[in-house]
Each structure stands twice: as C-alpha cells, then as structure tokens.
Structure 1
Amino acid sequence: MKFTIQKDRLVESVQDVLKAVSSRTTIPILTGIKIVASDEGVSLTGSDSDISIESFIPKEDGDLEIVTIDRPGSIVLQARFFSEIVKKLPMSTVEIEVQNQYLTIIRSGKAEFNLNGLDASEYPLLPQIEEHHAFQIPTDLLKNLIRQTVFAVSTSETRPILTGVNWNVSGGELICTATDSHRLALRKAKLDISEDSSYNVVIPGKSLTELSKILDDHQELVDIVITETQVLFKTKNVLFFSRLLDGNYPDTNRLIPQESKTNLIVNTKEFLQAIDRASLLAREGRNNVVKLSASASESIEISSNSPEIGKVVETVNAEQIEGEDLKISFSPKYMLDALKVLEGEDIHVSFTGAMRPFLIRTPNDDSIVQLILPVRTY
C-alpha cells in the first residue's frame, strides 16, 4: 500500500474515528485504526465493539485532489501513536507506505516515522446492515435531539437500560426520552417517514454523545438505519454504528403529571442565574438542595441554606403565578441542566405539590419537556 494525502483531511478523519477507539479493550487489534486505500479513496475505521466509526476520504473533492493512490492495500496502526504523529507532521501532505512485515513508513517534508503495523484482515468486520429501512433527520435537528436529552441518562450501571436514550418512532413522530429515575428529558420531532414505520430502541448515551461531536453544524440530512441490535447513522463521508441496549425501557408516560396545582411563567435567564447563585452554597456537604417558594404575590423566592457556611435568599419576579402557594426543594444541578437546553426567553414550570415531580417547558411548545423529582427536606 502506498498513497499521498492532504494532511488536514487525514487529521480530521483520524480525530473522528479515534472517538470509537478504547485503550481498555480486550481485543488488542481494536487499539488500532484500520486504514484501507482503494481506487476510490482512503477509509479509516475505529471501533471498541460497542461503537464503530468509518470515515471515508474521497480521491477528489470538487476540483481539489485530496488523495493520490500509488498502490491499494490496508494496514492497522496503533491509534494513539498514529494520531499524535499525523497531527504534528510538518508539511501539508503526508505519504504513507506499507512495506514487508507490515512496516509502515509515514513521510512528510523531512520527517519520517516507521511504525509497526498489524494485518488488516484480522480486524473485525463492521456490522452488515441492509439499508432499505432508512429514515432521515437534518443534522442540526439530530444534534438538538441529542443535546436536549442525553444529559439525563443514568451514569450508574445498576440499571443498564437507563444509560441509554429511548427512541420511539410511530405515527410519523420520533420521541426521545432519557431518565436516571430522578429526572427525565423528553423531546419530540416530526419525521418525514411513513405513518406505519415504527421502532422502539434504546441507544447508549455514550454513543449519542460521540456522534454529536462528529456531526457538523449544517442542514444536511443524516440517514438512520435501525436493526434489532444496531443503529447506523450515515452522513456524506462517515458511517457511525452503535450497538443497541438490550431490555425494555420503562413506561415513562405515567410519570408525567397531567394536571398541575401551581404554575409559573418566568424569564429563563433570570431564573437560571438565580438558581446558579443559590447553588454556590448548596454544593457543600449533603445539603445539596435549593428551595423555591411561590405565592400569588407575583414573586418567587429562591434560597439555599448550608448551616456551616451561611445562606442565600433571592427574589425573582415572575411574569405569571397561578394556583396554590408552594414550597419545594430540588437539586440545583438537575434544574440548571434542564434550563440550559430549553430554547426561548420564558419558561413555564408546573407543580402538582411539594413531593410530586414538576415539569419545565417552553410556553406553548410541547415538543420538549423536562421533569424533575423534588428532594424531601425536613
């Protein structure tokens, strides 16, 4: 194998596939990146057997020549060393040549590296997925769906199913739900898909986080193919495979209260900043809670009390308060996480009592719902 390639395109592809490479794998060859040069261009693959990413660099992009292939072939190179080397090469082009015994020479300007490679035929094959069940989502919407839900997945392995986001497609709509059993994030989106297509799968939160880092901010469509065990996200030059989590996702619909006793509409930024300030004293010790009290006098009191350190009280003007007086305590981290992903100047918070879950939404928009369980304080 021998080819010459534009360094910046190689670095970009290496960074993408590196997101799937784990140093803690039980299969030694998976600590490497597989490189295949063919007449069409160069493809790089990284995998940790949960996530697999393939990035393709075409020979030409418009009028620009990116790769010159002298001899097609393949090799697996140690990901950690290869990625560091290509980043630091001196010139704008890189030549990679594989000689006998998988010895690989990387040249750029006056720099020359010799790396010991591995036989690419030993590298596990990517899942074979038939693509006739694909649907499409614009890239920017997909990034939002991930951003507005993935933060609420569980980080504990005691219930593995909760470490993923539930994707439920039915009636031409996608509903993404994440919960760690203390809070819940839900986001709906209409899809351009036939009404009778239906899927109900759980995608690991880690996979979605890594996918989001690879996606560019643009309007292009991402093809999504779901099978029984795998999901494939396909963009112009990247294939992103992830395994699905086994098991049934809990029915979260019954957690969402249908009625409310107290409703607030408040400026998102003011509310977020007041809770952020109150959380400064709430971080210490076990007393990691912020209290909110609301009465019909059109103002909300946010407070936090840490006996060893001190206390903070702040009044926030509400644009609207309806219903019963209320005192409630909650985790400031959960509240801040939820507020940061809501879009819009104002938020609508609905409570059904001091010990019942409460909902945070944007007024007149039910496509995104955040739910938080209060903290019991005595």
Structure 2
Amino acid sequence: MRFIIQRDRLVQSVQDVMKAVTSRTTIPILTGIKIVATSEGVTLTGSDSDISIESFIPKEEAGDEIAEIKQTGSIVLQAKFFSEIVKKLPTDSVEIHVENQLQTVIRSGKSEFKLNGLDAEEYPLLPQITEENIIKIPTDLLKAMIRQTVFSVSTSETRPILTGVNWRVENGELTCIATDSHRLALRKARIETEIAEHYNVVIPGKSLNELSKILDDTNELVEIVITENQVLFKAKHLLFFSRLLEGNYPDTSRLIPTESKTDVVVNTKDFLHAIDRASLLAREGRNNVVKFTTNEDEVIEISSNTPEIGHVVEELQSQSIEGEELKISFSAKFMIDALKTLEGSEIKISFTGAMRPFVIRPINDNSILQLILPVRTY
C-alpha cells in the first residue's frame, strides 16, 4: 500500500475515527486505526465494538486532488501514535507506504516515521446493515435533538437502559426521551421517512455524544438506518455505527403531568442567571438545592441556604403567575441544564404541587419539554 494525501484531510479523518477507539478493550487490534487504500480513495476505521466510525477521504473532490493512490492495500496502525504523528507532521502532504512485514513508513517533508503495523485482515468487520427503511433528518436538527435530551441520561449502571436515549419513530415523527429518574428531557420533530414501521429503540448516550461532536453544523440530511441491535448514521463521507441497548425503556408518558395547579411564565435568560447566582452558595451543600417561592405582585423568590456558608435571596419579576401559591425546592444544576436547552425568550413552568414533578416548556412550542422532580426540604 502506498499513497500521498493532504495532511489536513488525514488529520480530520483520524480525529473523527479516534472517537471510537479506546485503550480499554479486550481485543488488542481495536486499539488501532484501520487504513484501506482503494482506487477511489482512503478509508479510515476506528471501533471499540460498541461504536464504529468509518471516514472516507475521496481521491478528489470538486476538482481538487486530495489523495494520490500509488498502490492499493490495507494496514492497522496504533491509533495513539499514528494520531499524534499526523497532527505534528511538518508539511501539507503525507506519504504513507507499507513495506514488507507490515512496517509502515510515514513521510512528510524531511520527517520520516516507521511504525509497526498489524494485519488488517484480523480487524473485525463492521456490522453489515441492509439499507432499507431509511429515516432522513437535517444534521443541525439531529444535533439539537441530541443536545436537548442526552444530558438527562443516567450515569449509573444500576439500570443500564437509562444510560441511553429512547428513540421512537411513529407516523413521520421522531421522539427522543432521556431520563435518569430524577429528571426527564423530551424532544420531538417531524422527519422524512417512507417507512410505515414503528421503531422504539434505545441508543447509548455516549454514542450520541460522540456522533454530535463529529457532525458538522449543516442542514444536509443524515440518513439513519435502525436494525434489531444496531443503528447506522450516514453523513457525507462518514459512517457511524452504534449498538443499541437491550431491554425495554420504561413508559415515561405516565410521568408527565397533564394538568397543573400553578403556572409561571418567566424570561428564560433572567431566570437562568438568577438560579445560577442562587446556586453559588448551594454547591457545597447537599445536591445543590435552591428554593422557589411565589409571592404577591407576580414576584418569584429564589433562595438558597447552606448553614455553614451563608444565605442568598434573589427576587425576580415574572411575566405571570396563575393558580395556587407555591413553595418548592429543586436541584439548581438540573434546572440550569434544562434551561440551557430551551430555545425562546420566555418559558412556562407548570407545577402540580410541592412534591410533584414539574414541567418546563418554551412558550408556544410543544416540541420540547423538560421535567424535574423536586427535592424534599421542608
């Protein structure tokens, strides 16, 4: 195998596939990156057997030559060393040449490295997915849906199913739900699909985080193929495979209250900043708890008391308060996480009592909601 390639494109592809490579693997060859040169271009693959990422660098694009393939072939190179080497090479082009016994020469300008490679035949094959039942979604919408839900997945392995995001596809709509049983995030959107089938799968939160980092902010369509135990995301020159979590996701629809006793409308930014300031003294205390009280004249009081540190009280004028008076306590961190995902200048918070979950939504937007369970402090 021998080819010359633009360094920047190689670095970008290496960084993408590195997101799937881990040093903690029982299969030693998976600590490497697989490189395959064909007459069409160069393909790099990284995998930890949960996530697999394949990045393709075409021989030419828009009339520019990116890679010159002198001899086709394949090799697996240690990811840690290979990625560091390509980042630090001195010139804009790199020559990679596999000699006998899998020794690989990496040349750029006056710099030359020799790395011992492994036989690419021993690298596990990527899942074979038949591409039928394709769902299409714009990249920027997909990234938004991940950002607005994935932070609510559980980090505890006691209920592995909650470490993923539940994706449901039905009647041309995708619904994403994440919960760690103390809070819940839900986002739905219309999508392009010709399929009549319903899907109800759970994608690991870790996979979605890595996918989101790799995707560019464009409105180009990402194609998604869901199978029994894998999901494939196809973007331009990129394939991203993830295993699905096994088991049934709990029915979360019962958690979301349909009525409310107190409705508060506030400016999103002002409320976020007030909670952020109130939490400054709460961080040391248990769970970072702040208290929220409705007062007369549509004023909200946000306070936090940590006996050994101090006390903070903040008043905020709301747009409106309807219903019963309320005192409630909740995690400031959960509230800040939720508020950061909501678009729109005003939000409506619907409470059904001091010890019941409450729902936060942007005004006039039913496609997204955040739900938080209060903390008992009284």
**Do the two structures share a fold, i.e. TM-score over 0.5?**
yes
SS in 2 for 1:366: coil
Identify the residue that residue 214 of structure 2 maps to in structure 1. Answer: 214
The 8 Å contact of residues 282 and 304 in structure 2, kept in 1 or not, is answered as: yes
Q: Deviations over 1:288-332 (max 9, x none)?
A: 200000134211000000000110000000001000000000000
Counterpart of 1:348, as a letter, is K
Identify the residue that residue 190 of structure 2 maps to in structure 1. Answer: 190
Residues 2-151 of structure 1: matches in 2 within 5 Å? 2-151=2-151
The 8 Å contact of residues 296 and 321 in structure 1, kept in 2 or not, is answered as: no
The 8 Å contact of residues 133 and 195 in structure 2, kept in 1 or not, is answered as: no
Residues 1-378 of structure 1: matches in 2 within 5 Å? 1-194=1-194, 196-286=196-286, 288-378=288-378
How far 1:240 sits from its partner (Å)? 0.1
CA distance in 2: counterparts of 1:307 and 1:296, whole angstroms: 27
CA distance in 2: counterparts of 1:287 and 1:203, whole angstroms: 28
Counterpart of 2:211, as a letter, is L
The 8 Å contact of residues 133 and 194 in structure 2, kept in 1 or not, is answered as: no
SS in 2 for 1:218: coil
How far 1:287 sits from its partner (Å)? 5.7
The unaligned stretches of length 5 or more in structure 2 are none
CA distance in 1: counterparts of 2:46 and 2:288, whole angstroms: 41
The 8 Å contact of residues 161 and 249 in structure 2, kept in 1 or not, is answered as: yes
How far 1:189 sits from its partner (Å)? 0.3
Aligned residues: 378
Counterpart of 2:306, as a letter, is S
SS in 1 for 2:281: helix
Counterpart of 2:313, as a letter, is V
Counterpart of 1:126, as a letter, is L
SS in 1 for 2:118: coil
Deviates more, 1:199-208 or 1:285-294: 285-294
- Classify 1:122/1:51 alpha carbon distance in 2 versus 1 (closer, same or farther; 3 Å): same
TM-score by length of 1: 0.99
CA distance in 1: counterparts of 2:318 and 2:254, whole angstroms: 29
The 8 Å contact of residues 134 and 194 in structure 2, kept in 1 or not, is answered as: no
The 8 Å contact of residues 2 and 98 in structure 2, kept in 1 or not, is answered as: yes
The unaligned stretches of length 5 or more in structure 1 are none
The 8 Å contact of residues 358 and 372 in structure 1, kept in 2 or not, is answered as: yes
The 8 Å contact of residues 301 and 314 in structure 2, kept in 1 or not, is answered as: yes
Q: Deviations over 1:132-184 (max 9, x none)?
A: 11110000000001000000000000000000000000111111000000000
Q: Deviations over 1:237-272 (max 9, x none)?
A: 000000000000000000000000000000000000
The 8 Å contact of residues 295 and 321 in structure 1, kept in 2 or not, is answered as: no
SS in 1 for 2:286: coil
The 8 Å contact of residues 107 and 113 in structure 2, kept in 1 or not, is answered as: yes
CA distance in 2: counterparts of 1:128 and 1:63, whole angstroms: 32
How far 1:188 sits from its partner (Å)? 0.5
CA distance in 1: counterparts of 2:65 and 2:311, whole angstroms: 64
Counterpart of 1:216, as a letter, is D
CA distance in 1: counterparts of 2:287 and 2:167, whole angstroms: 35
How far 1:19 sits from its partner (Å)? 0.1
CA distance in 2: counterparts of 1:126 and 1:4, whole angstroms: 26
TM-score by length of 2: 0.99
Counterpart of 1:316, as a letter, is L
CA distance in 1: counterparts of 2:317 and 2:4, whole angstroms: 63
Q: Deviations over 1:13-51 (max 9, x none)?
A: 000000000010010000000000000000000000000
The 8 Å contact of residues 102 and 116 in structure 1, kept in 2 or not, is answered as: yes
SS in 2 for 1:281: coil
CA distance in 1: counterparts of 2:124 and 2:194, whole angstroms: 35
SS in 2 for 1:10: helix
SS in 1 for 2:143: helix
